[in-house]
């Protein structure tokens, strides 16, 4: 499947083609100079064709071009461009205005796009429900509330996670799991996020362990790169947080039994792709 870049980004994409390795990355950084970014963002405001969801897809594709063995090194320009683009997309364009909610007390999940190197999805959480405490090992997540209010609690590891494994992987799946509790520090304590708060970024080290609780029924988008991939050591773990005398601990647990989602079809703006 080949993606079609809309907008002026196409020029950037083409100039980068044929490059490879660090050289191409430098070239790309050049294109992400503040000037280039401004020019691009001006264009994003008036998409000529394709639309903003297509532009978001294109930016994600560019940002993940130089991934080495599943490890992603992002630059300031990547964060800002993706944030600005995501921030600009309306619930209608994503196909999930409040009117789509059928009022059922169930968590809805919608895949916006799903690629090898990045994904975007939406959740609608009914008031009072929550996405249980979970993590995104080695991943970056851009989150934006489309409507409603949610309360976010997040934690950072006190000490960096040991590199999951080296090239000697694959090992048995059971060996891939480290279920020992570890110490964490609080990053956000029941912080309320609304649409007007814009895009919030989770990195491999900041806010990576988090829980989203709906204050009112709410809907938010997550743009994730790289995606969960069990074989690359990027599996989703759920946690219980315990405050103890010696500090706050995160203890891996099974996926909570009451956490159930209903998958809904994506009906927003589509990303144009050509079968190839």
- In eight-state DSSP terms, residue 114 is E
Q: Of 37-45, 65-73, 146-154, 235-243, which segment contacts ligand NAG by CB under 6 A?
A: 65-73
Q: Is 117 in the site for ligand NAG (CB under 6 A)?
A: yes
Q: How many residues at the interface with ligand NAG, by CB under 6 A?
A: 6
Minimum Å gap between C-beta 227 and ligand NAG is: 11
Query: Beta strand 119-125 with 2-3: parallel, antiparallel or unpaired?
Result: unpaired
Q: Which is nearer to ligand NAG, 19 or 97 (CB)?
A: 19
Q: Of 35-43, 59-67, 88-96, 238-246, which segment contacts ligand NAG by CB under 6 A?
A: 59-67
Distances (CA, A) of 147 to 103, 223, 249, 261: 14, 16, 32, 19
Q: Of 51-59, 60-68, 152-160, 190-198, which segment contacts ligand NAG by CB under 6 A?
A: 60-68
Q: Site for ligand NAG (CB under 6 A): which residue of 66, 143, 154, 237?
A: 66
Minimum Å gap between C-beta 61 and ligand NAG is: 6
Q: Is 208 in the site for ligand NAG (CB under 6 A)?
A: no
- Would you tell me how many other CB atoms lie within 10 Å of the CB of residue 13? 17
Confirm if 120 and 113 have CB atoms less than 8 A apart.
yes
Q: Is 71 in the site for ligand NAG (CB under 6 A)?
A: no
Q: Of 52-60, 63-71, 142-150, 213-221, which segment contacts ligand NAG by CB under 6 A?
A: 63-71
Distance CA(223)–CA(86), nearest Å, equals 8
Q: Which is nearer to ligand NAG, 66 or 84 (CB)?
A: 66
What value does the CA radius of gyration of the chain take, rounded to a whole number of Å?
Answer: 19
Q: Is 67 in the site for ligand NAG (CB under 6 A)?
A: yes
- Relative orientation angle of helices 34-45 and 76-87, to the nearest 10 degrees: 10
Minimum Å gap between C-beta 245 and ligand NAG is: 45
Q: Is 161 in the site for ligand NAG (CB under 6 A)?
A: no
Q: Which is nearer to ligand NAG, 14 or 177 (CB)?
A: 14
Minimum Å gap between C-beta 12 and ligand NAG is: 15
Q: Site for ligand NAG (CB under 6 A): which residue of 39, 116, 190, 262?
A: 116
Q: Is 273 in the site for ligand NAG (CB under 6 A)?
A: no
Strand order in the sheet with 140-147: 199-202, 140-147, 218-225, 119-125, 107-114, 261-264
- In eight-state DSSP terms, residue 232 is G
Q: Which is nearer to ligand NAG, 67 or 201 (CB)?
A: 67
Dihedral over alpha carbons 3, 4, 7, 8 (to 10 degrees)? 80
Secondary structure (DSSP) of 217-243: SEEEEEEEESPPBGGGTB---EEEEEE
Q: Is 264 in the site for ligand NAG (CB under 6 A)?
A: no
Beta bridge mates, 274: 2
Minimum Å gap between C-beta 16 and ligand NAG is: 12
Distances (CA, A) of 222 to 12, 56, 82, 190, 274: 25, 12, 11, 19, 25
Collect all residues with Cβ–Cβ distance below 8 Å to 146 and sequence separation of at least 6: 90, 91, 94, 96, 122, 195, 218, 219, 220, 221
Contacting positions for ligand NAG (CB under 6 A): 64-67, 116-117
């Amino acid at each position: 499947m080949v993606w079609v870049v809309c907008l002026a980004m196409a020029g950037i994409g083409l100039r980068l083609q044929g490059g490879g390795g660090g050289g191409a990355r430098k070239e790309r950084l050049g294109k992400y100079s503040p000037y280039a970014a401004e020019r691009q963002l001006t264009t994003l405001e008036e998409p000529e064709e394709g639309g903003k969801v297509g532009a978001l897809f294109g930016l994600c594709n560019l940002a993940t071009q130089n991934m080495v063995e599943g490890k992603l090194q992002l630059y300031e320009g990547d964060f800002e461009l993706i944030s600005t683009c995501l921030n600009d997309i309306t619930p209608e364009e994503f196909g999930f205005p409040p009117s789509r909610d059928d009022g059922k007390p169930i968590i809805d999940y919608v895949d916006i796009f799903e690629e090898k190197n990045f994904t975007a999805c939406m959740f609608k959480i009914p008031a009072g429900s929550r996405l249980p405490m979970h993590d995104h090992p080695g991943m970056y997540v851009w989150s934006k509330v489309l409507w409603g209010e949610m309360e976010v609690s997040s934690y950072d590891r006190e000490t960096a996670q040991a590199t999951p494994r080296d090239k000697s992987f694959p090992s048995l799946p059971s060996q891939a799991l480290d279920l020992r509790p570890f110490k964490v520090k609080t990053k956000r304590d029941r912080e309320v996020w609304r649409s007007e708060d814009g895009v919030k970024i989770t990195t491999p080290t900041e806010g990576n362990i988090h829980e989203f609780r709906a204050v009112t029924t709410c809907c938010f988008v997550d743009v994730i790169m790289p995606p969960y991939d069990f074989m690359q050591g990027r599996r989703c773990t759920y946690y219980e947080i315990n405050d103890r005398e010696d500090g706050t601990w995160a203890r891996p647990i099974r996926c909570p039994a009451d956490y159930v989602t209903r998958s809904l079809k994506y009906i927003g703006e589509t990303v144009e792709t050509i079968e190839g």
